[in-house]
Structure 1
Amino acid sequence: MHKNESAENYLEAILMLSKEQLEVRSIDVVNELGFKKSSVSVAMKKLRESGEIEMGPDGHITLTDSGLAIAEKILERHELISSWLERLGVDPETAVEDACGIEHVISAESFEAVKKYILAHQD
Structure 2
Amino acid sequence: MNYRVVDPDDLEPVEDRPCELRRLSEAAGLTTVAINRFRAEPGEQLPLAYHYHEHQEEAFVVVSGTLHVETPDGEFEVLEGEVFAADTEAPHRAYNPDSADEAVEVIAIGAPPSDDAVAYEPDE
Greater helix share, structure number: 1
Which of the two has higher C-alpha Rg? 1
Greater strand share, structure number: 2
